[in-house]
Amino acid sequence: MKNHDIGHIVWSTEEFVKHDMRCPYLKNDRCIIYLVRPIVCRLQGSVPELLCTQNKNNFISQQKLDDIKREFDTFVREIDGMDVFYGSRKPKI
């Protein structure tokens, strides 16, 4: 993102609602951070909780999703990443 002079955007819930829950990194309906998009974007349309109008039937298995979550958590710990992840949905607790 730095190489392309794209800043980190943090929106409040109100800002997401104001912008019809659209991602702040969408420009002309194209993702401007596609190569470094967050995990929630990478899973969009692949799991039932993140439906996509273009893909309704080819969901990954729960086992595969659990593996991805475990690998992602391990990766974040290894790089000493942030403990807070942003998205437009409330996390399930």
pLDDT of residue 78: 78
pLDDT of residue 47: 78
Which amino acid is present at 64?
K
pLDDT of residue 88: 46
**Measured distance CA(25)–CA(16) in Å, rounded:** 12
pLDDT of residue 83: 52
pLDDT of residue 59: 77
DSSP string, 29-75: TEETTGGG--HHHHHTTTSTTS-BTTBSS-PPPHHHHHHHHHHHHHH
Contact 43, 59 (CB under 8 A): no
Average pLDDT per 10 consecutive residues for the chain, totaling 93 residues: 81 86 87 85 78 68 86 79 51 50
Residue with tokens 């955007």: 9
pTM: 0.52
